[in-house]
Amino acid sequence: MTAGQQQTVFVTGASSGFGAAIARRFAADGALVIATARRTEPLATLAREFGPNILPLALDVRDRTAVEQAVAGLPTPFSHVDVLVNNAGLARGLQPAQRADPDHWQQMLDTNCAGLLHCTRAVLPGMVARGRGHLINLGSTAGSYPYPGANVYGATKAFVHQFSLNLRSDLHGTGVRVTCIEPGMSGGTEFSTVRFDGDEATARAVYADMQPLTADNIAAAVHWAVSQPAHVNINTIELMPVAQSFAPFQIHRTPTRGGPGEVVGSGTGGAVPPAHPSAARLPGRQHRQPPESEDLPASPH
Ligand code: NDP
Ligand code: 8X3
């Protein structure tokens, strides 16, 4: 975009969390925003807040035909999408793979991977034809760093990361930019409530006694990437709260009688066991400061 031109920004999952904050950030900047999600009431609230610069649109990204029709039927002045923010996504459950609900897995694959593909494929031809555009994909640190129970969720975000890089290859010479935004723990959204099936107490416990990233932090990162000069492509932005960092590999040790050759553990990073077994089913369990000489509060998982 050249300076001063009004951008058209298509945001998926704009009914809450990052998507709502991203829609607000761009609308506040004077952009035209197509705000989409399955729930329409929060989108209507956005439209009331910003007036005709927001187009609320009910859309389930899993429905390829609906996505194609929505993009093809965008009314003037929203019809030429400059920025697609592929934000709609979710985690369901935190069970180990052997106990996870296959329906949860399917929903994550359908939303985080297939839904993102449907939206991308629908807007890309227009962007390429116009010789400009920007795809913003919401990945996650969970796509790069494993944690117990992240199994399919993390894998969908690894998909988003690699698809973003592969898009850059395909779009070589078209002027279309691609950025993958990869946040760590972020609070104030519905992410954990959805993951834990509406269990608010468990969702709140994820962020207890630490300061997570906020949806506004993510919106600022997206806005910054989009605001770079047209010749600059930000490939990836990985951001985490200061309170979250990395921990050693976990090592499963099997007590032995000490016979020769019975190596029970290896690796230089594995000397420290997880903070507390009871916390092992919460993501980022290592980052909470335990009370003095106290274990972490027991997790319901
Ligand atoms: P929220 O649950 O607050 O927002 C998710 C959004 O996705 C909602 O607006 C929801 O709207 C929408 N959505 C879910 N399923 C569909 C669907 N089938 N079709 C259309 N929209 C859908 O979570 P966050 O804002 O925290 O997360 C946003 C994105 O960021 C997700 O992709 C998530 O994986 C990722 N992320 C989140 C992090 C976090 O810690 N919170 C960290 C890293 C990445 P509706 O239900 O109305 O359809
Ligand atoms: C969301 C961040 O750490 O809960 O993608 O997986 S985390």
Please, which pLDDT band fits residue 4 given cuts at 50, 70 and 90? low
pLDDT digits (tens, 9 = 90+) for 93-135: 999 999 999 999 999 999 999 999 999 999 999 999 999 999 9
8 A C-beta contact, residue 115 and residue 158: no
Identify the residues whose C-beta falls under 6 Å from ligand 2: 140-142, 150, 184-185, 283-284
Average pLDDT over residues 272-294: 41
Taking only the tens place, the pLDDT of each residue in 211-270 is: 999 999 999 999 999 999 999 999 999 999 999 999 999 999 998 876 554 444 333 333
Q: How far away, in angstroms, is 236 Cα from ligand 2 center?
A: 16
Q: How many CB atoms lie within 10 A of CB 218?
A: 24
Length of the chain: 301
What are the phi and psi torsion angles at 112 (to 5°)?
-70, -30
Q: What's residue 268's pLDDT?
A: 34
Q: Are 162 and 137 in contact (CB under 8 A)?
A: no
Q: What is the CA radius of gyration of the chain?
A: 21
Pick the ligand that lies closest to the CA of residue 282: 2
Is the pLDDT at 64 greater than 90? The verdict is yes
- Cβ-contact 53, 27 below 8 angstroms: yes
Is the domain defined by 8-244 classed in CATH 3.40.50.720?
yes
Q: Which atom of ligand 2 is nearest to the CA of 157?
A: 5
Query: pLDDT band at residue 18, thresholds of 50, 70 and 90?
Result: very high
CA 197–ligand 2 middle distance (angstroms): 16
Residue 147 known to be catalytic = no
Confidence class for position 282, pLDDT limits 50, 70, 90? low
Phi, psi for 80 (deg, rounded to 5): -105, 100
Cα torsion 190, 191, 194, 200 to 10°: value is -60
Q: Is 90 in the pocket of ligand 1 (CB under 6 A)?
A: yes
Q: What is the pLDDT of residues 157-176, one digit of tens each?
A: 999 999 999 999 999 999 99
- DSSP H helices, the chain, are 17-28, 41-50, 64-72, 102-108, 116-130, 151-170, 191-195, 200-206, 215-227
Work out which ligand 1 atom sits closest to the CA atom of 107: 18
Half-sphere exposure of 297 (CA within 13 A, CB side): 10
The rounded Å distance from CA 279 to ligand 2 centre is 16
Ligand 2 centroid to Cα of residue 79, in Å, is: 33
Mutate to test the pocket of ligand 1, among 191, 192, 217, 218 (most ligand atoms within 8 A of CB): 191
Nearest to 111 by CA among 159, 75, 76, 151: 159
What average pLDDT does the chain have? 89
Type and span of the H or E element at 135 = strand 133-138
Mutate to test the pocket of ligand 1, among 10, 12, 38, 222 (most ligand atoms within 8 A of CB): 38
- State the pLDDT at residue 256: 84
Please tell me what DSSP assigns to residue 242. Answer: T
Q: Which of 138, 122, 107 is nearest to 21 (CA)?
A: 138
Cβ-based neighbours of 48, under 8 Å, separated by 6 or more = none
Q: Is the CB of 61 under 6 A from ligand 1?
A: yes
